[in-house]
């Protein structure tokens, strides 16, 4: 078994974050997704503790007051989403590896949490996925999930996101799905070796 790691993966919309997370969980031994917490209502088929921890706004407030979150944020001014420290540190302490897909701004929260928590910092690696603009647009169109307006909206934040890329520990320059996955596996091996060496 390799040493446990926490891979935080970010990149523009359509860069392939979900695809890579799904594949790591399916194929890399000992990997699971971080279960995050939200105040939004469960959608049909969503299971509490599996897809999210679903909390009432009051219960979410209580966790904030208790300092239980590594990070949290409002999304569209409507619902709150966050990551409880226990949902990251618990699995890592039990020897399991974690992957989480967050937006570029969310990664800053993980860096800050790492600066305040040595255990987290030891296991943490941030990964940015680069994709040329035309290819990003093509992937979103091909995915068929977003309206033309939504795609335009998402494309407007890409430049900002790319400017943040230099702050990440690792970069993947996206090619085929297989090459991207192999690049992530190589990063995982490197981080696991670093964690093992840190003891
Ligand atoms: N390397 C790749 N080459 C071509 N297409 C890819 C590649 N990786 C992922 N895709 C496809 O691009 C689309 C976007 O991928 P995915 O949904 O994983 O992106 P995402 O970064 O999670 O997006 P979002 O932030 O919008 O949720 C999907 O249809 C996926 O199958």
Q: Which residue pairs, CB below 8 angstroms and at least 24 apart, start in 108-112? A: 108/167, 109/70, 109/71, 109/73, 110/8, 110/70, 110/71, 111/167, 112/71
For the cut 80, the answer to whether the pLDDT of residue 76 exceeds it is no
Q: Tell me: the pLDDT tens digits for 24-37? A: 999 999 999 999 99
Whether ligand 1 lies within 6 angstroms of the CB of 123 is answered as no
Which of 16-30, 103-117, 160-174 is least confident? Answer: 103-117
Query: Probe ligand 1: pick from 16, 141, 142, 143, max atoms within 8 Å of CB?
Result: 16
What pLDDT does 128 receive? 98
Q: Is residue 135 part of a domain?
A: yes
Q: Is residue 21 part of a domain?
A: yes
Domain of residue 143, residue span: 6-198
Q: Is residue 171 part of a domain?
A: yes
Whether ligand 1 lies within 6 angstroms of the CB of 144 is answered as no
Q: Is residue 1 part of a domain?
A: no
ipTM of the complex: 0.95
Q: Is residue 101 part of a domain?
A: yes
Supply the CATH number for residue 100's domain.
3.40.50.300
Ligand 1 atom 14, closest CA: 14
Q: Tell me: the pLDDT tens digits for 112-145? A: 999 999 999 999 999 999 999 999 999 999 999 8
Query: Probe ligand 1: pick from 8, 11, 13, 14, max atoms within 8 Å of CB?
Result: 14
Q: State how many domains the chain has.
A: 1
For the cut 90, the answer to whether the pLDDT of residue 1 exceeds it is no
């Amino acid at each position: 078994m390799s040493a446990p790691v926490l891979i935080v993966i970010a990149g523009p919309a359509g860069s392939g974050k979900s695809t890579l997370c799904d594949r790591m969980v399916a194929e890399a031994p000992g990997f699971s997704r971080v279960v995050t917490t939200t105040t939004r209502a469960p959608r049909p088929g969503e299971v509490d503790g599996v897809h999210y921890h679903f909390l009432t706004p009051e219960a979410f407030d209580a966790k904030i007051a208790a300092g239980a979150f590594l990070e949290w944020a409002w999304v569209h001014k409507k619902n709150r989403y966050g990551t409880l420290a226990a949902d990251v540190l618990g699995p890592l302490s039990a020897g399991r590896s974690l992957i989480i897909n967050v937006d570029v701004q969310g990664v800053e929260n993980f860096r800050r949490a790492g600066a305040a928590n040595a255990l987290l910092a030891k296991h943490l690696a941030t990964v940015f996925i680069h994709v040329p603009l035309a290819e990003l647009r093509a992937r979103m169109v091909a995915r068929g999930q977003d309206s033309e307006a939504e795609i335009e909206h998402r494309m407007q934040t890409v430049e900002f996101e790319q400017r943040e890329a230099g702050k990440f520990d690792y970069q993947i320059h996206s090619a085929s799905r297989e090459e991207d996955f192999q690049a992530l596996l190589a990063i995982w091996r490197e981080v696991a070796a670093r964690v093992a060496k840190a003891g």
